[in-house]
Amino acid sequence: MKAYLDNAATTRLDPEVLEAMLPLMTEQFGNPSSIHAHGRAVRSALERARKTVAGLLHAAPAEIFFTSGGTEADNTAIRGSIETLGLTHAITSPLEHHAVLHTLEHLARQGRITLSLVRVDEKGQIDLDHLEELLSTQPRALVSLMHGNNEIGNLLDLDAVGELCSRYDAIFHCDTVQTMGHYPHDLQQLSAHFIVGAAHKFHGPKGVGFLYVRPGTRIHPFVHGGAQERNMRGGTENVYGIVGLAKALEIAYRDMDEHRRHIEGLKKRMIDQLREKIEGVLFNGLSADLDRSLYTVLSVSLPPSDINDMLLFNLDIAGISASGGSACSSGSEVGSHVLGALQVPADRANVRFSFSKFTTAQEVDHAVQVVAELYKREPIC
């Protein structure tokens, strides 16, 4: 059987989302910047989508800007705030997505900023005391920390980080790509200047995302070339993608409690079975802690074996789609920077299983059975 267990990389498009998108792909094809009837109809659909997203997040429509995805939204927040606000110091962690880490490293190499990495422990938890130390010793900083880690599933204490940033007048950018649509976000209560989302992580289309910008935080655009998105992002809007994003987020909020119960049950089922069937199995970060990690992600560390290098290949042959870490680096010979920062031993195989509302117990059972069969061999001593 086939088992798709790589939902942290991308999710299946919800049929309700496709249905909402189709009219914008066929009958309503006007340019939303045009003033004639065809354009006005599409502009109306675009602004309804913006209002939907804003309402779900307890934000104002004027605070939501649509982008091509999470990476562009991250770049807009980071580059825009550094350039516009004259920030010279940025703080992040070694566990961030490359959309954040590589962007900040590039700016540091150019001499635009000094970059500090906050310490993490062996479980990948952010050292909040060290974060406060970094905030207190240098000028006003940009703090960029993700809500849910895409590889090990650790959840950040947003309230604690937000309070520290407020205390030291720091700009707080939070990559919420992995938690958007899976956890409620009340932007009236969250002390973040920027958050981001990507539709394909919550059963929407690929190639579309959004950036929330807190009121009073003005930044220059990252993409120039037009007055779209209230002069914040040049280029004709991906309207059917935006409508799909809004519908996907609406469904996610509508069914969030039901889907969370279903997915948490599957994750616990896999944890219990792996512990029962594979001696020496471990879980990276806080991945096996159901209270402190993403319920959609399980990062598994398997004992030394002569089949470790071929684990993902063998899973693929058995019809199981999973990842060796972040999907953004799959196929690369460079190991996961997240697992490297956690000093996970090099002789262990690591696989990330990630679940969605469409995942079944049969898929989980099949994956566990295949992994258990592979590790029946004698381990390497």
Which residues have CB under 8 Å from 79's CB, separation 6+? 103, 107, 222
Beta 3-4 vs 297-302: how paired, if at all?
unpaired
Pick the CATH number of 15-254 from 3.30.300.30, 3.40.1830.10, 3.40.640.10, 3.40.190.10: 3.40.640.10
- Is residue 281 within 8 Å of 337, Cβ to Cβ? no
Domain boundaries, the chain: 3-11+256-374, 15-254
Q: What phi, psi does 24 have (nearest 5°)?
A: -80, -10
Per-residue pLDDT of the chain (381 residues; tens, 9 = 90+): 999 999 999 999 999 999 999 999 999 999 999 999 999 999 999 999 999 999 999 999 999 999 999 999 999 999 999 999 999 999 999 999 999 999 999 999 999 999 999 999 999 999 999 999 999 998 799 999 999 999 999 999 999 999 999 999 999 999 999 999 999 999 999 999 999 999 999 999 999 999 999 999 999 999 999 999 999 999 999 999 999 999 999 999 999 999 999 999 999 999 999 999 999 999 999 999 999 999 999 999 999 988 888 999 999 999 999 998 544 544 445 679 999 999 999 899 999 999 999 999 999 999 999 999 998 754 444
Beta 209-213 vs 194-198: how paired, if at all?
antiparallel
Catalytic option among 165, 174, 328, 381: 328
Q: Give the whole-angstrom CA distance, residue 100 versus residue 110.
A: 16
- The conformation of residue 294, written as its DSSP 8-state character, comes to -
CATH 2.40.160.60 fits 3-11+256-374, yes or no: no
Question: Does the annotation mark 328 as catalytic?
Answer: yes
Taking the alpha carbons at both ends of the chain, their separation in whole angstroms is 33
